[in-house]
Chains A and B, each alone.
Chain A
Amino acid sequence: MTRPIPPEIEPDLRRAIRLEWWTLAWLASIVAVMGLTAGSSQAMRTAWIEDMLSMVPAIVFLIALHFEHRPPTRRFPFGFKRVNSLAFLISAVALSAVGASLLIESTMTLLSKDHATIPPVTLFGNSLWSGWLMVAALVYSVVPPFILGRLKLPVARRLQDKVLHTDAMMQKADWMTGLAGVAGVIGLGFGYWWADALAAALISVSILQDGLNALRVATAELVDGAPRKLENADIADDAALLRNALAVRFPGADVRLREMGRFIHAEVRAEAPATLPDLETLWPGPPERRWRLAQLSFVPPPGEES
């Protein structure tokens, strides 16, 4: 009992694709400018690598979605729904890498007591501390990821898309790093040489937490763990409801749920009933999320297997 990609999530999928292309266009422009201006500055090079890594979730989301729709083949008889799980693992690794890289860079700066020099620049005939230009650039750089991240979160929830959710977390990392940069540069202006590195270190811990959390959920999904929430490694509410509903419907049977990308596959360890139930009638949650239950299989309980 399997179903193709449900039509009710197609508008949200199209919206997610548009948001990801916007994200890639925005990030590509930043990577290009940073690549040109990075020069030999180690801090700028690290920031450049972080920007490259922050493109990863958007890229793998688009690739995964391209494959997810494909029908099963002889070589891939279970279809390609799990490409989404693989993309999620890659995104989680990228988010963790951004957090770890920022933490290492800022800790090294704090340990080496590196006092950053920010010289003045001449602008329209006036001498101005270039820290103010940096603050303006950072404030500007905070706006698009803030908006894109906020737009992606509800779509990710409706689609139960962990890749899109991780990408929204990556945008959160981007805007938080930008704001930390503003605080850091102003702190430097007040003569606190450690302000920039300390702000980055504090933010990096939060990014690393998000990354490691996503990594836990991605690992659980790949080893056939029960479906998890988008935000943390707890069992998803709709999966818990479904498990209870199936346990009531098939008393005494061992009910097992696992997640294939955004879909739930249920396994009931019991003899299949004479009349197979309709998947939609089994879903105990809100009707607009009936598509979540994509497959129900019956497996003969141990002892009855030949």
Chain B
Amino acid sequence: MIARLLIASLFLLAAACDSLPRDPEGTLDRIRAEKIVRAGIVAGRDGNDLERAYLAAVARRAGARAIVQSGTAESLIGKLEAGEIDLLIGEFSPTTPWVTRVSFMPPLAERMTPYGNILLLAAARNGENEWIGLLHREAEALTEARLGSRQ
């Protein structure tokens, strides 16, 4: 009996492999339903090509279009935590203290300054693991494409 249950659980898990993870707050489901990604870009960076390319790639992958608002990092992080925006892009220090409040993706770009390195990062609400997976993969794909085009 236990062996049968175990086998049944394994089959269920194997079937779930592709459909997991899901978002506790349903971010990606809402984006797909409304076909809108609500993005926040930290003021001063909103005209940059890299952000636009990343946003376009993410929106395409989610089957949606992006609506962008700009603001300070603090106000946008507050909105991200409250679920008022789905995604945030801005420049942060590699040792940013916001790392416990939101989930950062792999860096889109890095630049050197006299005060240390600064990373261009996208961030999502903590725990929205399906949405974070999509953002993560697109950030890596964009960086790979940029490195490939340079070689």
Contacts and interface: CB of A to CB of B under 8 A. Distances in A.
B21 A192 contact: no
B17 A132 contact: yes
A188 B132 CA distance: 13
A120 B24 contact: no
B136 A120 contact: yes
Contact of A119 (B13, B20, B103): B103
B133 interface: yes
Interface in B95-151: 103, 125-130, 132-133, 136-137, 140
Contacts of B103: 117, 119
A191 B132 contact: no
A127 B105 CA distance: 14
Contact of A129 (B21, B23, B26, B126): B21
Q: How extensive is the interface on chain B, given as a class?
A: 20 to 34
Q: How extensive is the interface on chain A, given as a class?
A: 10 to 19
B21 A118 contact: yes
B22 interface: yes
B16 interface: yes
A17 interface: no
A120 B106 CA distance: 11
B13 A116 contact: no
Given A118-B129, A119-B103, A190 B140 contact: no
Contacts of B128: 115, 117
A129 B140 contact: no
B23 A117 contact: no
B17 A117 contact: no
A116 B20 contact: no
Most chain-B Cβ atoms within 10 A of its Cβ — which of A114, A117, A186, A192? A117
Interface of A: 114-120, 122, 127, 129, 131-132, 186, 188-193
